[in-house]
Homo-oligomer: A and B are copies of this chain.
């Protein structure tokens, strides 16, 4: 893929002057239309060989367009704050909202091509293989969510790289940009050539192809990238937004009889109040010790509470937080998304709240909303929630790789018990706010929710992040099961 970017493309000064003027006005117009359309965001990834002019290109783009609507972020070594979070956290953090342009220098391609990691050959490199697969998944998720990806690989032939480095080095205004690493990288040029080819081939997909651009002549580089960007902006603006297809259709690929999963739960399980008191003290004290353990500093804890309305999530959460230090955890109630959240891919608002190492986040409802309420109520299309399963599995894998222990609970009660609790809430003054007309409405969809829950458990109960179904008809039993599950999972993680 790289040969055509080593042949010395040039653009004359005259051609450049003429073309730049037109291109610039067109880009500015397209940028404005993008900001009004609510499409996108459009995310440019600029990677490539050292001294290819990646930073210069980003500067040129902000010079051409309105810098207030472009976010340029360079990704290199992680900061201490970034290191304390799963790797993808910093990319989510920097992701611009709809209507904006983002320029990510290197982005997630920083590590695979970093000359400092000593990697030169793609063959038999298992970690590289897994990494590139992760990148493909991540990019697919982004494009599925409406992010327009545009990836530029700025290439130089070996002799052109040497020339650029020397040139930068000679000029007192640019010499600070040439480091010893750049020259080390240059010396590895021939060895790394195969790696680049491999990387580009493996991550050039239909939804996010690479554009290889020769970097030696800056006029050629600017015009080429500018024109491709303009074309992509115009194509994005011309595209019709996908229509919402409503859910609950016969095409829903639901395994018909898997509702057994829920229906077979033994809801009669209970504890005497004496058993409960004893177990509560025991499990809370286990959890207290484990979360204060020295080794917990290398982990984090992500708790997900989902369940039938009035299933007792709140009470269970409080028995958990009762064992925790308030400085260590944060509880995130998930309700309807804000405007800012709607302007980002749906996982964005969860990434915002992912704990750092040593921290705990408790999600009261979660990213599973997409395959539960959004599916059942038809708030998103069938294809949206169908692909959510794999996006969620990938998300939880990223959390786990970053040291998180992910524990997920579904709290189930019977229809009769729910009715009893709704009525009781209406009569308890300090619980009055817990019951809304929506709760009554949801009861009518009981069967649809049951199917959605069973599909969810089928498709997202993974080895690294299994679901725990909790028989919650009797609160005492449910609370102890929740506490014990968390403590067991945590203990296993700390002993690994």
Contacts and interface: CB of A to CB of B under 8 A. Distances in A.
A71 B70 CA distance: 33
A105 B318 contact: no
Contacts of A289: 173
Interface in A52-67: 55, 58-59, 61-63, 66-67
Contacts of A246: none
A103 B330 CA distance: 12
Contacts of A321: 62-63, 67
Contacts of A70: 326
Interface in A319-350: 321-322, 324-327, 330-333, 338-340
Q: How large is the interface on A (under 10, 10 to 19, 20 to 34, 35 or more residues)?
A: 35 or more
A79 interface: yes
Interface stretch (A25-33, A412-420, A457-465): A25-33
Contact of A79 (B66, B80, B314): B80
A317 B29 contact: no
A68 B288 contact: no
Contacts of A68: 317, 331-333, 364
Contacts of A105: 327
A292 interface: yes
Tally of this chain's copies: 2
A74 interface: yes
Interface of A is mostly: helix
Contacts of A429: 25, 29
Given A176-B292, A326-B72, A331 B67 contact: yes
Contact of A67 (B66, B69, B318): B318
A169 to B, nearest CB: 15
Contacts of A339: 338-339
A496 to B, nearest CB: 22
A81 interface: yes
A73 interface: yes
B317 A67 contact: yes
Contact of A173 (B62, B66, B288): B288
Contacts of A32: 430, 433
A69 to B, nearest CB: 8
